[in-house]
Structures are given as structure tokens and as C-alpha cells.
Amino acid sequence: MEALYTAKATSTGGRSGNVKSADGVINLELRPPKEMGGPGGNYSNPEQLFAAGYAACFSGAFGHMALQKNIRVRPIITAEVTINKDGEGFKLSVVMDIKVPGVSQKEAEELAEAAHQFCPYSKATRNNIDVKLKVEAVEK
């Protein structure tokens, strides 16, 4: 395996602290969401950060797979990351809401599945958390 890029971020204080990337681009105060007993307000949390990264990565993978088939498309990818309580503590699940303009439903589903096989986030989560693909071909 050849390393291409390494991202680095430091967290202080966990869910009630701060997270900052090494280059300072990300510098966020974190708090648990209101639904989990937090204060609400203008704070982020680990689930939001994971959703943002997964959506962006999946979108890139989708675009790459589309170009492999000479299809130019700009999908709208929304990652819904849920933290669930299970018998051992907590577990994440993800719904990828994938809206694809200008292709058939079959093409959209095929591209989504190919992206799911290719995406590094999908590979990292495979067989670890539930990931559901919700695919919809939409008008341009």
C-alpha cells in the first residue's frame, strides 16, 4: 500500500471539547447534540464530522465510477449517520441518500453500488456498521 496523504486532527475533551486539524482549517467546539442530553446550539459532534467526510468521499467515488462508464453526472449525496444504543454500548449506522440527475434508476443504482465498493469510507465500514444505500434517479 502506498500512502498518498495523511490527515491529522487532535481532539481535546472528547464530545464536550474541541477538535482541530493540524493545518487549522477545522477548529470546532464539540458538544453532544440536544437529543443526547447536550446543550444544542452552534456546536458540531463526531457524527456530523463523520457524515460530512463520508458524504464527500462517497460523492467522489460515485463521480469516479461514473466517469469510468463515460457518464457525466453530479450526484447529491447526503449521509445520515445515526448513533444507536445496543446491548454493548453504542453503534453507528448510515443511510446514504443518493439523488442522481440525468440517468435511469437502474444506472443510478449500478453506479451507487460500484461507488460503495470503491469508496474508502465504505471499505472501512464494511461489515462493521450497517450502511443502507437509498438511490433515486431524479430529473435534471
* CATH code of the domain covering residue 28: 2.20.25.10
Q: Do residues 35 and 68 share a domain?
A: no
Q: Do residues 51 and 105 share a domain?
A: yes
The residues, any chain, with a CB within 8 Å of residue 119's CB and separated by 6 or more, are 57, 58, 60, 61
Q: Do residues 40 and 99 share a domain?
A: no
Q: Which domain holds residue 22?
A: 1-44
pLDDT in tens, 38-66: 998 999 999 999 999 999 999 999 999 99
Q: Do residues 127 and 87 share a domain?
A: yes
Report the distance separating Cα 56 and Cα 51, nearest Å: 8
What is the structure's pLDDT at 6?
96
Q: What's the burial of 104, exposed, middle or buried (CB within 10 Å: 0-12/13-18/19+)?
A: exposed
Q: Of 29, 44, 59, which residue constitutes the final position of a domain?
A: 44
pTM of the prediction? 0.94
Q: Do residues 24 and 91 share a domain?
A: no
What is the structure's pLDDT at 73?
94
Whether 101 and 136 have beta carbons less than 8 Å apart is answered as: no
> How many CB atoms lie under 10 A from the CB of residue 55?
21
What is the structure's pLDDT at 87?
86
Report the distance separating Cα 33 and Cα 65, nearest Å: 35
Question: Percent of the chain scored above 90 by pLDDT?
Answer: 94
Could you tell me which residue, 88 or 134, shows the higher pLDDT? Answer: 134
Residue 94: give its domain's CATH number: 3.30.300.20
The mean pLDDT of 106-133, rounded to a whole number, is: 97
- Domain count within the chain: 2
